Structure 1
Amino acid sequence: MFNKQVGTDILSRLPVVANSLVMDAGRSQSSPQLIVRGLSTINGPKDPLIVVDNFPYDGDISNINPNSVENITILKDAAASSIWGARAANGVIVITTKKGKLDRPISFEINANSTVDAKPDLYYIPQMSSSDFIDVEQELYSRGFYKSKIGSTSRPLLSPVIDMLDLADNGKISEGEALSKINELSGVDVRDQLDRYVYKPAYKQQYFLSGSGGAAKFSWLSSVGYDRNIGTLGDRYERINLRFQQAYEISKQFSVATNLYYTQTDTKSGRNGYNDMSNLFPYTRIADQNGQALAVPRNYRQSFIESFGDGRLLDWSYYPLVDSEHQIRRSPATDLLGTIELNYEIIKGLKIAGNYQYEQAHGLGTSFADQYSYMARDYVNRFTQLQNNKVEYIIPVGGILDKSASLMHASNLRGTLSFDRSFGKHMITAIAGAEMRDARQESNNNRFYGYNPDNLTFGNIDYKTSYPTVITGAKDYVPNSQTLSETVTRFVSQFANAAYSFDNRYTLSGSIRRDASNLFGLKTNDQWNPFWSAGAAWKISNEKFFNTGLVSYLNLRTSYGFSGNIDPAMVAVNTIAFSSPSVFTGDPSAAFVNFYNPLLRWETSKMLNIALDFRTKNNRLVGALEFYHKWGRNLFGQAPIDLTTGVNTSMQRNVANMHGQGWDLELTTKNIDHTHLKWNSTLNMSQYKDVIDDYLISRTLAQQYVNVATPPISGIKGKPVYAIYSYKWAGLDPNTGEAQGYLNGEVSKDYTAITGTGTKEEDLNYHGSAIPTLFGNLQNSVSYKDFSFQIGITYKLGYWFRRSSINYTNLFNSGKGHSDYAYRWQNPGDELITDIPVNPYTTNSNRDRFYEGASVLVEKGDHIRLQYINFGYDLPTFKGFKRLHIYINIQNIGILWKANKAGIDPDFNLGSGRTIVPRSYSVGVKTSI
């Protein structure tokens, strides 16, 4: 079912087909977090270890073409993951790529498809209506709210409505003209303009050709892939994959295998979207009726910059519709990965092997804002000196070029000795070895002002002198973007793994591994702190007493072991970062990055796993049920330190603990298995809960437990790592419409006390986990003769999220409204039908903080999503073709059910500009020749 989805990356496909894995998309505004079997750390990295063809993968996983993947295995229990030691606590995703096979005729496989993505639904964004927004602005203006802004010498940004009202009051335009223009704006919705002029359907193309074959002692596989995407904003992405794999049997004892993987990508920016355009008001117009770009206020008052400078400055207006044409960002990158594997059989069953992998990733970044871009014009104008009718450009007129480069090269060397042999009823498998890994990352950034791409010239900038800025005269330095950095990370490991089986019924296994790294001091590296595991299995179905006709296979297994986790950004010794000479003194400068932390060591995760694998006759039902309990020990957390060090009051050390438990269920059924009609189903279901055991809390304010943007680490013993807390809600005041909470058990509107020291953790409402605690997927595949149909459903249950609503302080100060405003309390009795507070026309950050954190805005995140549908048909083949298959795929179809009644998709809740991933439609063909 992995290959029934369409797309250029691997990881996004996994939650639809894998067990024990969830994509936590709702807790953070950044990229979704892939989590395997819940959390194993509190402050450390939470990403699983990615292993490609038996080596940890240091590059960008999106470089791997999904068409090159043979299979993907998720290592979850201690016995499976402990062999990867200090980086396996968060789970291990093992990706095996396709290989050539011996004694196979030359064959080719082709997969080509085209995809169209719908435009994003901008009306999902809870934007305040233009008419409501204008009403608020007019009322605030009449109350004198904008007087300080209007009179400021820095000429800060004013909205078009406020600008017109002030111009009318000063007689620069008539009152009738101002009201006419304002009435016109009340009927404008910026989302209409963005939908018409900016967003377009996205187009994606994917082509893949693979050839393979093999003789008696030689096999090979070569492939080439090409992907080309044009996004909804016109942004472009291209990727070329080349792969060459060969295997040689030089003799009966000696074999060699090589693999070379090359990826080249190129990303280019497109138009500015909703989140890219600065200072968009609900009524902003970015184009006139003919589609011509209009100026939009940015940074400064529009009526001021249109006349300031008496024509001696560059045009200071911002045209968001076309500005992206003058500021192009491009990021070409290459990744080269090569491996070689040597195997030699010393005697029967005893082999020695050597593996080496080298990876080099090179990335370039360019951002060129030409002389017509707002960025270039703004910098030039800001530092322009106007004296006695003379114009002096501190920053030369021209473009601004930002260039960056990064280089990563990593080497892995592994040597192993393995034994695999049977002696009658006895079977022994064992492996021991050592490996070394060295990874280096280098990067640099530079900026060129006054850049001319025609003759490759740029201006000389004096970064040491401060200059008066043109509007206020306040002195400032020209920004200097030059940086250099280099990071070296080394790991050394020793490991051993062995298993003994008797009579194909009983199995005992164990593993041990030791890791060292340059991230730690000698005190940690010199200590023997191994990661180990032990396991046992009993194949009950092979016992003589097991004689049921229904169940053909029954296997009980258990394991217990340790694995680790580390944050490469944390090191045990004093480290400093040097900076360019100070603009104030001209002397070199440096700053501490890490302070001496001699007891810093790996985070440790230990896990107990008990599982039952079963299979009925004719594989009618195949499944596995696993129970696990894991403990996170020596986790990173804040610990108090001696104040006389002058460093801080606390620092990260191995002082925190947590534990988690859950179960995983996987069921595959053959519902119908006739000659022409087949129907198979697979259900994956996982349950997980975590609890903090030890964690230092330094919080004194209630608001520190109720973080509106992102749920903070709870830090509370007995509660999940990420928990949803809220202020107790007492409804709206029936007389004033103000929000009410509780203080010392009494109804109160003392927002400062409620959100401050007046509320303790025990006074808050605890709702539950911010991460799904029950999740999984359901896949169905139906085929009739040459027709096939697949469907994939995902579900996330047992968690909570906080929906957004109106924040009056943000509305007044920043122009950030919310569609909830239309349902606010306005008259006595409205408190019976709404929970949206009255507009008080006064700013009070604690009042808004209370409402946004109140229990009335907390919703259950439970939902079921239809992820994809795939239709396929096998065309009649002709000479030379083994298979000719056409397919139609629809992805990101939508939610089938959700627990909340607010119409919110929990995976796309946070952030005012987040939109649901658009539905995509694909058509493609696969063939084997």
Structure 2
Amino acid sequence: MRTLFKSTLYLLFLLPMSFFAQKVVSGTVTESATGLPIPGVNVIVKGTSNGASTDFDGNYTLENVTNGDILVFSFLGFKTEEIPYQGQSTLDVTLDENQATLDEVVLIGYGSTSEQNATGAVEKISPEQFNQGAVVSPQELIAGKSAGVQITPPGGAPGEGGTIRIRGGASLSGSNDPLIVVDGVPLDQRGVSGSRNALNAINPNEIEDFVILKDAAATSIYGSRASNGVILITTKSGKKDSPFQFTYDVKASVGNITDKVNVLSADEFRNIIESTPGTNPDLLGDTSTDWQDQIYQTSVGAIHNFTATQGIGNFYYRANFNHTQQTGVLKGDYYQRDAINLSLNQDLFDNQLKLSLTSKNSLDQNHFADRGAIGSAVAFDPTQPIYDPESPFGGYFEFTRQTNGGITQQNLATRNPVALLNQYTDVNQVRRSITNLNAELKMPFLPELKAVVNGGFDYAEAHGHTFRPLASAANTSNINQFSNYVNYNRNLLLDTYLNYNSEIAAINTEIDATAGHSYQEFFRFSDSYGTEQDQEVDFPVSIDRNALESYFGRVSLDINDKYLISGSIRADGSSRVAPQNRWGYFPAASVGWKLQNEDFLKDVSWLSQLKLRGGYGETGNYEIGANYGYLGIYTPSVGGASYQFGDQFVPTLRPEEYDENLKWESLRNYNAGIDFGFFDNRLSGSVDAYYRETKDLISVVPVPAGANLSDQLLTNVGTAVSRGIEVALSGDIARSEDFNWSLNYNITFQDKEITKLSLGDNPNFFIPQGGISGGVGNTIQLWKKGYDPYTFFVFRQVYDQNGKPIEGAYVDVNGDNQITEADRQPYKKATPDYFMGLTNTLNYKNFNLNFTFRGSFGNYIYNNTESANGFVEAGTNTPSDYYSNLNSNVLDTGFQNSQFFSDYYIRGADFVKLDNVSLGYTVPGEKVDFKISLTASNVLTITDYEGLDPEVFGGIDNNFYPRSRRFVLGLNFTF
């Protein structure tokens, strides 16, 4: 009986425990429409932190599950499924696409919209489209990805940023850089003093997506800063109810230059010197030195990312640590970044209040090489040695002369490029934090209304110093040359706005309305101490402070899911401009028509989307090149600049010129577009046509003597128009469970013309631009009415019957039988007629292959490396004790004297580049997913241009820091 009693109690104890027995469930998550597996789906036990995520094949395994638990399957772009667990060991799930969720992720200023409801020229670029490899600067991710957006990569310096132009830019003297907004914080468009690249504080690995606002209908909500377009960068955040995940990613890279400037070899140089009358071959050395080989090296680098993310109930976070190191191909050039990125989110009061904090904190360490070594390596005598044991300049060979004070350097001679690199120190550290706190509250009395407060700051400080010893030939003073400097940049922001989003059922209309206020203040401080000429100088402190106060509003209507109407206005008040011009008003209006929802098209099965768009808007350019240019400013003298009164020298205050009516530039923009998609969006795209007119262009122009405090004045003088057509196409060539292949192509046709430039009506007035090496103050481009801003200004070269240029022979354009400045004509331009990008994405099971092509056509370049050193006198018309090397082009032309302004040096610079190739393989595991990738960048350039690189911003090829071809090995571990 006792045994029976004990057994009964034991069974009664086990019975309830069986209901709580923890089990393991696994399965596969697929798309309901295609049957394809979905990687990255969050699978979580509702109300707990117990969860998992699907691997590359859509498989998951979830432990510690009990009967009655609710399993939640969620993934962006799909409807969330909640399924009760009934004890089964296998549970396969299919998810339906949620079109509304897919569309709502497109950000616009102070809000979001869906792709199908966007009426402006807006484009989102997601991580799947990013360029791969050891990317240090964020703008490299999207080169070639968007129609109308041209990104010129930086030179070979590590950490350097490229140049971004949206629709060609809108200004002349003012900034043409777009406004960049990071997690709701607009960055200072002037950049950060001391930093190689204003975007380096943003770790490319942590970017969720880019949204590019191109036309004024989309950008005018940013008013006076939006004429050059707006780029919205959203960084990654944690996911709600997601399990803990840790990722380690490393990319190791090596790179080398692909070409060198063509100069004479030692033997070729000797032949030139020996065959030129009046030269002294005894001045030549007896060695053979390739100076370019001596200054360049193999660049190496490594990027490490450690990331942790988790969602615990209503709190979710993401934390990332980044360590980046990279050397340049120029010896001594080095960049290092250590960064911590945090994203914290908390939902409160049944999701009525959402709080989010993002913080990007970085420490950049730079060692800047002396880029003068690049030009010196091209021009230094190749017959001379690198070192000279008897040299007073640190043992480096230099061209010297004997004076009463002993041996000194030749003041005009080229410096030893190796010595320039090794005898120069230029280092700094830049600390930066971009942080913002966002609070979003749904009103309890009106859930459709929410209040948003966004406070942020962007703070940076740079400390650095330079040093060049007295023993350096590049130091022409009698003391060690040095400088110490400190720069502070502070950007404070407070946005407050209300958003109302609801449906008016009576008229079948959705309304989205936003109204708010913004205040942003910019502060810059710099102080430096160093040497000037032969004395130590404490330079004046520079303080720059300005503020921008704004009011904005926008209303968007979606009528019957067919007709879209949107209007916005922004009022900006800036302390930068005179009180009478302080406030600017920037309206915009746009419409759209979703034809696919019309009765006559809604049954067309192969039509996924067909939308017409049109819009008009006005914007401004806040970066006009001067703060408080409407005020009279006095500049204190520095160094030895003083005025003598008897035996005393008194420092001076110099009054500067000013224009009391100076105001910001303004832009009027018209845009028309069509968006389309066919066959379940297997083929989709858009076409946009735009016309833009910039008024009140800022430029420095001559003014009559006595009219101001200078004969040159920065003022509003001009007008320019630009027009273009942008085409973007995306196609899924293959869609299947194991094989997917898509291509994205974009092409942009553009044209820009100055239509007014002077205060008077002189049709021949122009402003010289484009300084070149060779002579003093020489320029090769011009701004002139009727021409592109990057038009060259040259004489037309005459050629002999064999096609060889005849030295000094130019076309007599005006027929006056003499060659004068009047025969110098505008000719060709550096701006391309059109440019394009092609991106391939291919996946086969666990393999992926991506590559990107970019091309530019109709653009020209002035080869200043040839014109400055491609004639005999460039190397021989020197003081009597040294010679300089020549560009090998002299062997083709035989030029004895300079021909700087000949159109012979204007060369076609069309190119097609294979910019990026990446091959990857993913190995899914039960505990760890592993991915390996191989990437090559700057792989191939197809061009007829014979210089180093046809892609030189501005169109003047001189002293160019060569880009490297890089190879990258990437390893990624996800736990």
* TM-score under structure 1 length normalisation: 0.79
1:823 match: secondary structure: helix
In 1: Cα distance, 2:770 partner to 2:903 partner: 10
Deviation by residue 1:673-711 (Cα, 9 ceiling, x = unmatched):
222122110001111101111112989899958976697
Distance 1:501 1:402, change over 3 A: same
From 625, 633, 636, the counterpart of 1:578: 636
2:139 match: 11
2:844 match: 784
2:361 match: 262
1:864 match: 912
In 1: Cα distance, 2:509 partner to 2:780 partner: 53
In 2: Cα distance, 1:362 partner to 1:794 partner: 36
Confirm whether residue 248 of structure 1 aligns to residue 346 of structure 2.
Answer: yes
Distance 1:615 1:558, change over 3 A: same
Q: Which has the higher relative contact order, 1 or 2, with Cα contacts under 8 A spaced 6 or more apart?
A: 1
In 1: Cα distance, 2:228 partner to 2:703 partner: 29
Distance 1:744 1:619, change over 3 A: closer
Confirm whether residue 552 of structure 1 aligns to residue 608 of structure 2.
Answer: yes
Deviation by residue 1:569-610 (Cα, 9 ceiling, x = unmatched):
252221223345855544342223451x22211211111111
In 1: Cα distance, 2:150 partner to 2:185 partner: 24
1:84 match: secondary structure: helix
How many correspondences in the alignment?
A: 798
From 504, 510, 514, the counterpart of 2:567: 510
2:871–2:890 Cα contact (<8 Å) kept: no
2:496 match: 415
2:516 match: 433
Amino acid at match of 2:306: L
Amino acid at match of 1:742: V
Confirm whether residue 340 of structure 1 aligns to residue 437 of structure 2.
Answer: yes
Amino acid at match of 1:53: D
Confirm whether residue 538 of structure 1 aligns to residue 538 of structure 2.
Answer: no
Q: How far off is 1:642 after superposition?
A: 5.3
2:263 match: 127
2:205 match: secondary structure: helix
The residue correspondences of 1:393-542 to structure 2 (distance < 5 A) are: 395=479, 400-424=481-505, 425-447=508-530, 478=535, 480=537, 482-525=539-582, 529-542=584-597
- Tell me whether 906-915 or 208-217 shows the greater mean CA deviation: 906-915
1:50 match: 180
Amino acid at match of 2:949: D
Deviation by residue 1:449-481 (Cα, 9 ceiling, x = unmatched):
xxxxxxxxxxxxxx9xxxxxxxxxxxx853636
Q: How far off is 1:869 after superposition?
A: 0.7
In 2: Cα distance, 1:568 partner to 1:11 partner: 24
Amino acid at match of 2:832: P
2:930 match: 884
Distance 1:317 1:819, change over 3 A: closer
Confirm whether residue 93 of structure 1 aligns to residue 231 of structure 2.
Answer: yes
1:708–1:802 Cα contact (<8 Å) kept: no
RMSD after superposition? 3.4
In 2: Cα distance, 1:559 partner to 1:494 partner: 21
- Tell me whether 716-725 or 772-781 shows the greater mean CA deviation: 716-725
Confirm whether residue 676 of structure 1 aligns to residue 759 of structure 2.
Answer: no
Deviation by residue 1:531-552 (Cα, 9 ceiling, x = unmatched):
1100111111011110322211
1:402–1:445 Cα contact (<8 Å) kept: yes
In 2: Cα distance, 1:201 partner to 1:679 partner: 35
Amino acid at match of 1:577: T
In 2: Cα distance, 1:210 partner to 1:557 partner: 41
The residue correspondences of 1:824-903 to structure 2 (distance < 5 A) are: 824=892, 836-839=893-896, 848=898, 851-875=899-923, 877-881=924-928, 883-895=929-941, 897-900=942-945, 902=946
In 1: Cα distance, 2:894 partner to 2:422 partner: 43
1:204–1:229 Cα contact (<8 Å) kept: yes
Q: How far off is 1:212 after superposition?
A: 1.5
1:111 match: 249
From 307, 310, 319, the counterpart of 1:210: 307
Q: How far off is 1:421 after superposition?
A: 1.0
Distance 1:643 1:318, change over 3 A: closer
In 2: Cα distance, 1:274 partner to 1:540 partner: 61
1:295–1:317 Cα contact (<8 Å) kept: no
Structure 2 regions of 5+ residues with no counterpart?
A: 1-128, 193-197
2:566–2:589 Cα contact (<8 Å) kept: yes
2:827 match: 766
Distance 1:837 1:138, change over 3 A: closer
From 394, 397, 402, the counterpart of 1:296: 397
1:565–1:602 Cα contact (<8 Å) kept: yes
Deviation by residue 1:624-663 (Cα, 9 ceiling, x = unmatched):
1111111111111356645333523452322211111111
From 350, 353, 363, the counterpart of 2:452: 353
2:949 match: 905
Distance 1:407 1:540, change over 3 A: same
1:467 match: none
In 2: Cα distance, 1:5 partner to 1:722 partner: 33
1:280 match: 380
The residue correspondences of 1:804-819 to structure 2 (distance < 5 A) are: 804-805=866-867, 806-813=870-877, 818-819=886-887
1:616 match: 678
Distance 1:650 1:578, change over 3 A: closer
In 1: Cα distance, 2:373 partner to 2:625 partner: 35
Q: How far off is 1:135 after superposition?
A: 4.3
Amino acid at match of 1:643: A
Amino acid at match of 1:536: V
Confirm whether residue 561 of structure 1 aligns to residue 659 of structure 2.
Answer: no
Structure 1 regions of 5+ residues with no counterpart?
A: 146-160, 166-180, 381-394, 449-462, 464-475, 825-835
Distance 1:692 1:838, change over 3 A: closer
Deviation by residue 1:131-168 (Cα, 9 ceiling, x = unmatched):
4434444566x53x7xxxxxxxxxxxxxxx66x45xxx
1:600 match: 662
1:706–1:725 Cα contact (<8 Å) kept: no
2:243 match: secondary structure: strand
Q: How far off is 1:784 after superposition?
A: 1.3
In 1: Cα distance, 2:495 partner to 2:169 partner: 30
Distance 1:317 1:712, change over 3 A: closer
Amino acid at match of 1:364: H
1:468 match: none
The residue correspondences of 1:716-735 to structure 2 (distance < 5 A) are: 716-732=784-800
2:455 match: secondary structure: strand
1:829 match: none
Q: How far off is 1:241 after superposition?
A: 0.8
* TM-score under structure 2 length normalisation: 0.76
Q: How far off is 1:100 after superposition?
A: 1.6
The residue correspondences of 1:195-234 to structure 2 (distance < 5 A) are: 195=293, 197-232=294-329, 233-234=331-332
2:970 match: secondary structure: strand
- Tell me whether 427-436 or 710-719 shows the greater mean CA deviation: 710-719
2:769–2:783 Cα contact (<8 Å) kept: no
In 2: Cα distance, 1:880 partner to 1:729 partner: 70
The residue correspondences of 1:705-724 to structure 2 (distance < 5 A) are: 714-724=782-792
